Amino acid sequence: MYFAGIIGLNASGSREVFISLIPFNLLVTSAILFSFHKPWNHRFAMVFLAVALTGWIAEWIGTSTGLLFGDYQYGEALGFKIASTPLLIGLNWVLLSYSIWNMLTFFQLRFPFRIIFAVILMVVLDILIEPVAMDTLMWTWKNDTVPLHNYVGWAGVSFIVFLIWSRYKDMEENPLAVPVILLQFLFFAVMNVFLIL
């Protein structure tokens, strides 16, 4: 899907179709990733929802006030919106943060170093995401400029999200977490190269 997305989003004849498939990609990636999660229990469901709500509420505050990230608005590429904020953006926060947090179990980093490293990875990923998001009209920034304010806000929200994940002690290593997050980094890095070219 990611390889097809790179080709489809950079081909003029298929670009609009592939932009419309962004929600499908997010849903399918999440479904496959979390089908490998263990253990599925009430506690994990609560943490999952807490992260999704934290991410969505942060984005809603961001689009409504500009306080957290700066002056931006969502387009139509991420699908159905409530209060001008796509519902799927909460799932995106879960997907990215879960994959990074799960990947870092391999390194057995101690608290708080695991959270700090996780936040750094999230910010680096956001740096790669922003130009592609603007190009595909997932969201737009005032004057087409991503403010430094955005990355500070992204780091702050990520810190809260990883604090939530840190409270969930039952998580086992998910064999798809590393491939998924590496695909995210690779996809957005390659898309940025296409934008430069």
pLDDT along the chain (197 residues), means of 10: 95 94 97 95 95 98 95 96 97 98 86 94 98 96 94 98 92 93 98 94
Strands (E) in the chain, as ranges, are 72-74, 81-82, 85-86, 139-141
How high is the pLDDT of residue 12?
87
CB 95 within 8 A of CB 175: no
Left (φ > 0), alpha (ψ -120 to 50) or beta: where does 125 sit? alpha
Q: Which pLDDT value is given to residue 107?
A: 82
- CA-to-CA distance for 177 and 108, rounded, in angstroms? 15
pLDDT at 147 (0 to 100): 96
Structure confidence at residue 106 (pLDDT): 80
Give yes or no for a contact between 135 and 19, defined as CB atoms under 8 angstroms apart. no
DSSP helix/strand/coil, 188: helix
| Contact between residue 115 and residue 179 where contact means Cβ atoms under 8 Å apart | no
Q: What distance, in Å, lies between the first and last C-alpha atoms of the chain?
A: 22
Type of residue at 33:
L
